[in-house]
Amino acid sequence: MKKTRLILIILGISSLILLTIGITFYMKYVTNIQDGEDVIVTAIINYGSLKPGAQDEYNVTIQTGSTALQVFASIAELDLLNYSFGAYIRGVNSYTEQLPNYWGFYYFDFNTRSWIYSAIGVDQYQIEDESKIKLEYTG
Give 36's pLDDT tier (boundaries 50, 70, 90): low
User: Which positions ≥6 away from 124 have C-beta within 8 Å?
Assistant: 67, 86
Instruction: For residues 42 and 31, state if they share a domain.
Output: no
Tell me the residue range of the domain where 14 lies. 1-35
Do 48 and 27 lie in one domain? The reply is no
In angstroms, the CA 44 to CA 34 distance is 27
Question: Amino acid identity, residue 86?
Answer: G
Alpha carbons 117 and 131: distance in angstroms, whole number: 14
Predicted confidence at residue 115, as pLDDT, reads: 97
If asked whether residues 114 and 66 sit together in one domain, one would say yes
Task: Specify the length of the chain in residues.
Answer: 139
One domain for residues 119 and 58: yes
Does residue 84 share a domain with residue 102? yes
Do both 25 and 62 map to the same domain? Answer: no
pLDDT for 34 beyond 80 = no
62-118 pLDDT per residue, tens? 998 899 999 999 999 999 999 988 899 999 999 999 999 999 999 999 999 999 999
> Could you give the 3-state DSSP secondary structure of residue 97?
coil
Nearest Cα to Cα of residue 85 among 129, 112, 120, 48: 120
Are residues 110 and 61 both part of a single domain?
yes
> Who wins on pLDDT, 29 or 13?
13
Cis peptide before 100 (omega within 30 of 0): yes
